[in-house]
Amino acid sequence: MTSEVVDDTADQDVFGGVDSHADTIHVAVISENGGHLADAEFATTAAGYAAALAFLNAHGQVTAIGVEGTSSYGAGFTRAARSAGLDVVEVNRPDRAERRRIGKSDPIDAYAAARAALSGRASSAPKDDTVAGIRALHNAARSAV
């Protein structure tokens, strides 16, 4: 787990961003004015999700968390965050022009997800387990044709 903490912000509203992968999630925290506060990497396990939520809560009152891939690699974290009563929003990957401009790394993507949650650009509800059933039906229908 790596972490970079700027200062103590336990009494302010913060936004989180998550860049999810198969084995790890990278979590970033920003202030309500968009300032970078901290980021860290956690394992995609129940203990890792609990540590990530504790990390977010340690920096202030979490207003919303933007998560990339809420129906794939980010599904476990999304379930854990929602069961903890936190507001989670689905974040689409940044467009190619933005990626070329600012680069590509786990911390950059996590901060971009947090900024998307802050700005309201990411406002859709995360996908849940019902999507898997719909996806299975869609694939069955498509393969039958």
Neighbours of 5 (CB within 10 A): 14
Q: What is the CATH number of the domain that holds 63?
A: 3.30.420
Residue-wise burial string across 111-136, b where 16 or more C-beta atoms lie within 10 A, e elsewhere: bbbbbbbbeeebeeebbeeeeeeeee
* Domain range for 65: 3-144
β-strands 61-68, 88-91 pairing: parallel
Total number of domains constituting the chain = 1
pLDDT (tens digit, 0 to 9) for every residue of the chain, 145 residues total?
Answer: 554 444 555 678 999 999 999 999 999 999 999 999 999 999 999 999 999 999 999 999 999 999 988 778 888 999 999 999 999 998 887 656 666 666 678 888 899 999 999 987 766 666 666 666 776 777 888 888 6
Q: Tell me the whole-structure pTM to 2 decimals.
A: 0.77
CA dihedral 16, 123, 86, 10 (to 10 degrees): 40
